[in-house]
Amino acid sequence: MKKTLQISVSLVVLSLAMQTAAQEKYSPAPVFSDLLSNVYLRSNGQFKPSSIYAYFLSGDKGQLKVIRDGSEIAEFSFRIEPYTAPKYTIDGYELVKGKNDSLGLMLKEPGNYKLEYYAGGVKFYSFAFELVVGKTDPYQPKKLMFLNGPWNDYAYLYKTNNESHGKWEFRVFMRSDDGSLQQTKGQVLLIRDKDKKVVAVGSSAFRREAAWRRQDLTLQKPGKKNARGEYYSNQDFYANREKLADGSYTLEFKTDGKLYGAYKFVVNAGKVQMQGNQVRKSTDPLNFIEGGGREIWMKKQ
């Protein structure tokens, strides 16, 4: 009798656990950094989607619909392939509607665009951006096209791995506003808000152009500071060995000595906290920012 009761209790517990797991099923979403790295136009205006990662998908096929100012103008089909659960690859795009050039789909009209992702006939994600056509230079008749959207507003902290030698990187997308090639020096300062202490720094030289390109700056313990406010003789800062103290922090990112943006986050119980559209409970699944557990996204202040 006692053994039967134990089995019954175990079955009830298992049933409740299965129900809880079903209730906590996560909505699918592409990795946000992949979208920002791979949504772009070629210099001739061609739009050709690239392979990206996504989490919590199901099925083996999907559709990507291209919307301009509220109207669908094109559709791609794509394959969904398992990578390492719960991670999947979205790849093998084929343009099935909206071909407007021998090369495929060309986007040359300014407007507000959305990329809408479907799996199993259900929309699971929406990515919005604006296409702006630049002024024509009589000496360079080709019009420049610029994309505006999350690239302008977001940056993120990335943990390189979960091993003891893992480091934090500050990652941000940069471009030149006039389309010219510009050599730039970037510097990021991690400042603890309560006492304004600089607890980590990072720097990198890079080139800006018309298209958005991701720049990665590894955070280090600050060493000495020169007259230009640049740090040198910095030491390694290991993300999994040396925890940040609880509290609020600000990342100040400068380009060529001028403030480009400030980004805030909070540490609680030794962990950097998700915020904004990375908080599942308060975010529409269509707009959730998926970071795969290693990306902490911050909006420019």
> Is residue 24 in some structural domain?
no
Looking at the structure, tell me whether residues 157 and 293 fall in a common domain.
yes
* 3-class SS of residue 84: coil
As a whole number of angstroms, the distance between CA 297 and CA 267 comes to 13
- Domain count of the fold of the chain: 2
Query: Can you say how many angstroms the Cα of residue 2 is from the centroid of all Cα atoms in its chain?
Result: 54
As a whole number of angstroms, the distance between CA 211 and CA 110 comes to 16
As a whole number of angstroms, the distance between CA 266 and CA 236 comes to 22
> Is residue 16 in some structural domain?
no
Looking at the structure, tell me whether residues 163 and 278 fall in a common domain.
yes
The tokens 């390109």 sit on which residue?
Answer: 213
Task: Write the pLDDT tens digit of every residue in 18-71.
Answer: 333 433 589 999 999 999 999 999 989 999 999 999 999 999 999 999 999 999
Picking from 131, 148, 165, the residue at the C-terminal end of a domain is 148
Question: What strands, in cross-sheet order, belong to the sheet with 213-218?
Answer: 213-218, 168-174, 154-159, 295-299
Task: Write the pLDDT tens digit of every residue in 104-129.
Answer: 999 999 999 999 999 999 999 999 99
As a whole number of angstroms, the distance between CA 145 and CA 45 comes to 8
Looking at the structure, tell me whether residues 182 and 217 fall in a common domain.
yes
Picking from 148, 182, 197, the residue at the C-terminal end of a domain is 148
* 3-class SS of residue 124: strand
> Burial, 54: exposed, middle or buried (Cβ in 10 Å; 0-12, 13-18, 19+)?
buried
> Is residue 114 in some structural domain?
yes
Looking at the structure, tell me whether residues 168 and 138 fall in a common domain.
no
| Domain extent for 169 | 152-299
Looking at the structure, tell me whether residues 141 and 181 fall in a common domain.
no
Q: What is the mean pLDDT of the chain?
A: 91
CA angle 86, 90, 93 (to 5 degrees): 165
> Is residue 9 in some structural domain?
no
Whether this prediction's pTM lies above 0.85 is answered by: yes
Strand pairing report for 235-236 and 220-221: antiparallel
